[in-house]
Amino acid sequence: MSEAIATIALAGNPNAGKTTLFNALTGSRQHVGNYPGITVEKKEGFVDMPSGTVRVIDLPGTYSMTAYSQEELVARDFLVKERPQGIINVIDATSLERNLYLTVQFLELGIPVTLALNMVDALESKGIRIDSDRLADLMRLPVVRTVARSGLGVREALQAALTHPRQSWEPLFISYGPDLDPVLGEMTKLISNAGFLADTYPPRWLALKFLENDLVVRQLFEADYELHRRLRDMADEVARHCEKTLKTQPEFLIADYRYGYISSILRQGVLTVMPDLQGRADLSDKIDAVLTHQVAGPAIMLAILYGLFSVTFTLGEIPMGWVETAFAWLAELAGKMPPGLTRSLIIDGIIAGVGGVLGFVPLILIMFLGITFLEDSGYMARMAYMLDRVFRIFGLHGSSVVPFIISGGIPGGCAVPGVMAARTLRSPKEKLATLLTAPFMACGAKVPVFILLAAAFFPEHGARVMFLITLAGWAAALVAAKMMRSTIIRGPSTPFVMELPPYRMPTAMGLVLHTWERGWQYIRKAGTVILAIAVLIWAMMTFPGLPQEIAAPYEAEMAGIQEQLQAETGEAARGELEASLAALERRLKEEALTHSLAGRLGQAIEPVTAWAGFDWRTNIALLGGIAAKEVIVSTLATAHSMSDAENTDFAARIAAAPGWNTSVAVSLMIFVLLYSPCFVTVVAIAREASWGWAAFSVVFNTAFAFALATATYQLGMSMGW
């Protein structure tokens, strides 16, 4: 790729259409990564302009530039450290005043700002008129009217940013009134005389942030002890003065003056609001009157979730069938290989393991498409709003609903993107409680286990079992969250101050890109971790091979039967011989499995797992499931000598197998639902929290699951189920 001629950052409030504008500019020439060391997404893309290729960075959406959240710090650090040529500040034109609050902070930093006045098409119906030329004159910056959804004005905004009249940084000067201006002036003079961080930050900006109690900036000053002491004394003095005379604090006075500055600009003929249209509730309010109605709201929410669930499974079945057929064909092809270890590895290890996972890809993509639609349309914010009061009881936050749903709150999700979605929670304690409990949900990988067991023990009631399991996942997550929040991660809750964005029809491109981002995480998992795990489990179940002295008698007997079979011609006798041959083969396989590493491991822990009703075969599958839940069913099948041809009626086999009954099935469903998150989720938890918490989730969830499974099994057995 040719060298970019310039870097332009996109910045703005969440929901202002920043990402839509980014997608419209860069199309598919973008990639998503992470900022080093932290878990804020970094989106980067390239755009060909007449003057050359431009690198565009989509900064995280923020309302301000404080040090309170990672997103705001990331945006700020990017601007001062990487010094892009300029930023396009994407603004929701329908709430100009609040959006300009961030703009003013960019201007105070000095970076050349181009305003993209987005969603101008919505102004007329709201009775708002904005004179963008006047706004450009007063704020001395280029203003471009855009409609990011249709691409209108998008390239023009980038062009304006590239040809910004101001090519150097030049901080805006705002008066903060008689109480703060004098001390701000003195502090600025002190900082600039000391030449402190002169090439990174403007001195007045540093002074302002110091007054605003910005912890990050204050920490910077600790490098210069004397300067820090003098500034701190001045800041403390003015804080006391403000408290005494105005009953407020400098940081809040600063916010008031910033808004004052903005409204003074808007009043100079920039913003005209037609009063006759003001009283009229807009479309979003009308929709909200129904969708967040006290009675209808929760009912509709349940209906939407249920609808999404059934659409996912009915629609998903079709492409799932194609993938399964493709893998069955592959297995058949591999079956033509000569029998032996390689064939067994390919069929039992790779095709069964990876195929089982990839079969779920269509389902997961449909699921994520639905979730992305709910998110991009603005409905997810309403769910957080409606559920906050309930979630708060359990020490969680309304926004915890998003990670829960993505993780499988509607069966079929995946905990990996779910854990990542917990990023939106600001309070570290709530975030931790959310990401530790989200893996309790019925993710797509656990679903086949439930379907299998339901088919075996509760035929006819499959849908009801699925529904109850889903509820159990939610209940377990909420109860565990409450347990953690009232013991090991106690602490205050995050403020709920949250915007309810207007309802919008998501753009097709946004839907596709966001769905793909999440789906890709799942597919990558199938191609890497699960492939490795499938091969490992296969090896553990195959080696060490059966010693010759144990295998020999079986083989001799089988050879004998083979001979008789060749001589025998009678139909009935042949059938009998074939049956005993098959039985012998199964016993040989079982002996081999008992002897293998996995078999020994399974037997070693059987005395404990027997409390919950799990025999050693189930143990093998569950051990594999710690790595990836997807392998549970295929491992269980192999452990019951079911590989190769006769997979067809596994459910019936399980139901009839010795040691299996309804109590075991229910206990196993509960255990699979709740026990240790899969490896990839554990890694995701480690990245979002720490390795310590990731290890905790493995141990805690397994103990929690085992306790519940044991209780269920013992209760079930005593009731004679």
Partner 1 sequence: MSTIVNLRQMRVDQRGIIKTVAAQGELGRRIRDMGLVPGTEVTVIGRAPLKDPVALRLKGFTLTLRNSEADFITVELPEDDLV
Binding site for partner 1 (CB under 8 A): 63-64, 66, 68, 92, 94-98, 101, 126, 128, 249, 251-252, 255-256, 259, 284-285, 288-289, 292-295, 297-298, 385-386, 388-390, 392, 398, 495-502
Of the pair 16, 456, the CB lying nearest partner 1 is at 16
CB of 435 to partner 1, least distance (A): 21
CB of 389 to partner 1, least distance (A): 4
Compute CA 23 distance to the chain's CA centroid, rounded to the nearest angstrom: 20
Which residues are CB-neighbours of 503 under 8 A, at least 6 positions away? 283, 284, 287, 377, 378, 379
Of the pair 77, 97, the CB lying nearest partner 1 is at 97
Q: CA nearest 654: which of 466, 450, 460?
A: 450
Of the pair 255, 483, the CB lying nearest partner 1 is at 255
DSSP 3-state of 143:
strand
Residue written as token pair 């204050």: 218
CB of 422 to partner 1, least distance (A): 19
Token code pair at residue 423: 């990023």
Of the pair 370, 398, the CB lying nearest partner 1 is at 398
CB of 219 to partner 1, least distance (A): 17
Distance CA 529, CA 662 (A): 33
Using CA atoms, how far residue 429 sits from 37, 71, 441, in Å, is: 19, 17, 20
CB of 309 to partner 1, least distance (A): 21
Distance CA 320, CA 451 (A): 15
CB-based burial, 436-463: b 16+ in 10 Å, e otherwise: bbbbbbbbbbbbbbbbbbbbbbbeeeee
Of the pair 64, 564, the CB lying nearest partner 1 is at 64
Of the pair 126, 164, the CB lying nearest partner 1 is at 126
- CB contact at 8 A, 280 and 323: no
Of the pair 289, 656, the CB lying nearest partner 1 is at 289
Of the pair 261, 522, the CB lying nearest partner 1 is at 261
Of the pair 128, 685, the CB lying nearest partner 1 is at 128
Distance CA 585, CA 583 (A): 5
CB of 430 to partner 1, least distance (A): 13
Asked if omega into 544 is within 30° of 0 (cis), the reply is yes
CB of 71 to partner 1, least distance (A): 12
Of the pair 252, 322, the CB lying nearest partner 1 is at 252
Q: What φ, ψ does residue 302 adopt, rounded to 5°? A: -60, -40
Task: Output DSSP code: residue 459.
Answer: T
Distance CA 710, CA 192 (A): 69
Of the pair 98, 504, the CB lying nearest partner 1 is at 98
Asked if omega into 411 is within 30° of 0 (cis), the reply is no
- CB contact at 8 A, 235 and 226: no
Of the pair 294, 487, the CB lying nearest partner 1 is at 294
Kindly give the pairing relationship between strand 6-12 and strand 86-92.
Answer: parallel
CB of 258 to partner 1, least distance (A): 9
CB of 664 to partner 1, least distance (A): 40
CB of 11 to partner 1, least distance (A): 15
Q: CA nearest 629: which of 542, 540, 522?
A: 522
CB of 416 to partner 1, least distance (A): 29
CB of 232 to partner 1, least distance (A): 18
In 244-389, at which residue ranges do the beta strands (DSSP E only) sit?
A: 271-273
Task: Output DSSP code: residue 675.
Answer: S
Of the pair 285, 649, the CB lying nearest partner 1 is at 285
CB of 597 to partner 1, least distance (A): 53
The H or E element that residue 144 is part of is: strand 143-146
Q: CA nearest 345: which of 542, 508, 196, 571?
A: 542
- CB contact at 8 A, 385 and 292: yes
- CB contact at 8 A, 353 and 533: yes
CB of 514 to partner 1, least distance (A): 23
Which residues are CB-neighbours of 661 under 8 A, at least 6 positions away? 457, 721
Residue written as token pair 């064909």: 329
Position 15: which residue type? N
Of the pair 61, 599, the CB lying nearest partner 1 is at 61
